């Protein structure tokens, strides 16, 4: 009897375990069904990827172009009113502008990627913390950068490679523009957060309004009031204040989630995740800043030993860098438009859509790069003339720099798009490595080596060599990634 009851208890125990297992499997199946249903209901998971890329990329491109206009417009008005030294001064302060963009990408793209991945996985409550934490980090770091710049302005400008005859212009311009850093960073980074929330046009609108105001005030302050560098800088920060205020308002009124005060409290796990996913685009900007500083110092050193002098190479390189930023605005805008599509579908395990969206972004990037290559090779003098007049040596250096340094422009689409792909699918280490290849791994050593043999011309030839090897590295890495089993199975 004892044995019988023991066997009966054991049988009942097995039946109970089986029942629990069935319930567990049913719950898991239900959870998956809910996530899949949410994925299908979200346009990012069901609409045509080409249509989505158009919807997200066009506003992103316009937003990036508008951001570039802040520098381009200042360059135009300063070039017309102050001349070569004024143009050189804006180039000396440009590393600080790059720092602002780096912070905006670190917390903007990082927060947006984390948010979209969580939404794709169906974790809506967790996702909203990434928007709140990213917003606080953007504005807080902008305040910190502003304070550091104001306290150590002159040493920073010397470190950035300012010649003595340019220093005073650079100090006037940078001291004022630093006051706009918190709002510049919030606008640039908040645009990514609004885009992740499904509102790419809002990101475009915030940037566009600020840029239009900047342009109008530039004309008034510089040409009418004759304020020169002060007028250009004042117009810039007023536009940034208005853009930042609009961005903040829209972040407080999100479309898919509601940010509450508890979501603004910084959490270590959320901050680390945001920083990890934003590290690749941020590191690329920081690398650009390092290269910009080294380039300024090299242009000053080797320019003084050439027929051009110290100021002409720095002024020309600054203008050409900002013109190239206009072209890169299209490429980066495409990669940013791709980001929410790729992140959401990767989180929802729709790998075929990830691969398709990336392929469409690459095709668009190639044709835009080809157009930029033609412009840089066949109309360099016409482009440089927009930013004021100069000596014959000024035009000679500018034309050579355009044609040589930017020779492989038609390859420069592949690295930023591919780097953003890795970030968007939650593989920030690969994205960060790829983003550093062009600036740090290839260009920086070449800037040190080539001029030893070619003088100032060596600085120009370092650019295309670095572009070629960076593009080759991107092709190898993305080919390996897209050959992985899940992508092959989905295709």
Q: What is the pLDDT of residues 5-16, one digit of tens each?
A: 444 454 555 555
Cα 207 to Cα 146: distance, rounded to the nearest angstrom: 20
pTM reported for the whole predicted model:
0.72
Residue 78, pLDDT score: 83
Of 71, 92, 80, whose CA–CA distance to 164 is shortest?
92
Indicate the SS3 state at residue 305: coil
What's the whole-number mean pLDDT along residues 171-195? 94
Cα 455 to Cα 109: distance, rounded to the nearest angstrom: 39
Question: Does the pLDDT at position 118 exceed 70?
Answer: yes
Question: Does the pLDDT at position 455 exceed 90?
Answer: yes
Of 15, 153, 180, whose CA–CA distance to 89 is shortest?
153
Cα 76 to Cα 182: distance, rounded to the nearest angstrom: 24
Question: Does the pLDDT at position 276 exceed 70?
Answer: yes
Residue 187, pLDDT score: 93
On the CB side of 359, CA atoms within 13 Å amount to: 11
Q: What angle do CA 455, 460, 462 make, to 5 degrees?
A: 95
Cα 281 to Cα 109: distance, rounded to the nearest angstrom: 8
* Structure-model confidence comparison of residues 256 and 237, the more confident one: 237
What's the whole-number mean pLDDT along residues 98-111? 92
Q: Cα 448 from chain centroid? A: 27
Residue 142, pLDDT score: 97
**Per-residue pLDDT band at 487 (split at 50, 70, 90):** low
**Segment among 56-70, 219-233, 261-275, 337-351 with least mean pLDDT:** 56-70
**Per-residue pLDDT band at 1 (split at 50, 70, 90):** very low
CB 193 within 8 A of CB 111: yes
Which residues lie closer than 8 Å to 475 by C-beta, 6 or more apart? Answer: 414
Question: Does the pLDDT at position 457 exceed 90?
Answer: yes
Per-residue 3-state assignment (H helix, E strand, C coil) for 118-186: HHHCCCHHHHHHHHHHHHHHHHHHHHHHHHHHHHCHHHHHHHCCCCHHHHHHHHHHHHHHHHHHHHHHH
**How many other C-beta atoms can be found within 10 angstroms of the C-beta atom of residue 294?**
17
Cα 344 to Cα 60: distance, rounded to the nearest angstrom: 18
Residue 486, pLDDT score: 60
Which tens digits make up the pLDDT trace of 126-173? 999 999 999 999 999 999 999 999 999 999 999 998 888 889 999 999
Residue 448, pLDDT score: 93
Residue 466, pLDDT score: 95
């Amino acid at each position: 009897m004892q044995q019988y009851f023991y066997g009966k208890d054991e049988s009942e125990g097995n039946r109970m375990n089986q029942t629990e297992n069935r319930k567990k499997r049913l719950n898991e199946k239900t959870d998956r069904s809910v996530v899949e249903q949410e994925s299908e209901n979200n346009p990012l998971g069901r609409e045509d990827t080409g249509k989505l890329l158009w919807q997200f990329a066009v506003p992103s491109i316009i937003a990036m172009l508008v951001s570039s206009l802040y520098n381009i417009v200042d360059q135009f008005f300063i070039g017309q009113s102050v001349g070569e030294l004024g143009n050189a001064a804006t180039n000396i302060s440009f590393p600080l502008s790059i720092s602002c963009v780096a912070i905006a990408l670190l917390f903007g793209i990082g927060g947006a990627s984390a948010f979209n991945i969580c939404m794709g996985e169906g974790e809506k409550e967790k996702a909203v913390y990434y928007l709140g934490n990213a917003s606080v980090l953007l504005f807080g770091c902008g305040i910190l950068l502003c304070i550091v710049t104001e306290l150590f302005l002159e040493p920073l400008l010397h470190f950035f490679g300012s010649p003595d005859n340019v220093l005073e212009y650079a100090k006037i311009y940078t001291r004022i523009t630093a006051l706009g850093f918190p709002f510049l960073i919030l606008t640039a980074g908040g645009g990514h957060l609004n885009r992740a929330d499904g509102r790419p046009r809002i990101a475009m609108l915030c940037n566009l309004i600020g840029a239009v105001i900047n342009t109008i005030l530039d004309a008034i302050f510089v040409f009418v009031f004759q304020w020169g560098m002060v007028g250009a800088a004042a117009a810039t920060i007023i536009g940034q204040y208005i853009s930042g205020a609009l961005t903040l308002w829209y972040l407080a009124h999100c479309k898919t989630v509601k940010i509450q005060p508890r979501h603004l409290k910084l959490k270590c796990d959320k901050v680390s995740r945001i920083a990890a996913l934003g590290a690749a685009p941020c590191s690329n900007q920081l690398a650009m800043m390092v290269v910009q500083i080294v380039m300024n110092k090299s242009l000053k050193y080797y320019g003084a030993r050439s027929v051009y002098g110290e100021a002409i190479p720095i002024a020309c390189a600054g203008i050409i860098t900002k013109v190239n930023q206009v072209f890169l605005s299209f490429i980066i805008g495409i990669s940013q438009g791709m980001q929410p599509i790729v992140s959401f579908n990767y989180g929802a395990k729709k790998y075929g859509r990830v691969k398709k969206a990336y392929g469409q972004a690459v095709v668009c990037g190639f044709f835009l790069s080809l157009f930029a290559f033609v412009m840089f090779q066949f109309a360099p003098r016409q482009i440089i003339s927009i930013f004021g007049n100069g000596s014959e040596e000024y035009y000679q250096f500018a034309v050579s720099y355009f044609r040589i340094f930017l020779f492989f422009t038609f390859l420069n689409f592949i690295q930023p798009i591919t780097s953003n792909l890795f970030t968007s699918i939650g593989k920030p280490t690969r994205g960060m490595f790829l983003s550093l290849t062009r600036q740090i791994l290839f260009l920086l050593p070449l800037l040190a080596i080539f001029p030893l043999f070619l003088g100032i011309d060596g600085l120009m030839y370092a650019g295309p060599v670095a572009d070629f090897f960076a593009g080759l590295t991107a092709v190898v890495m993305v080919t390996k990634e897209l050959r992985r089993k899940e992508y092959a199975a989905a295709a």
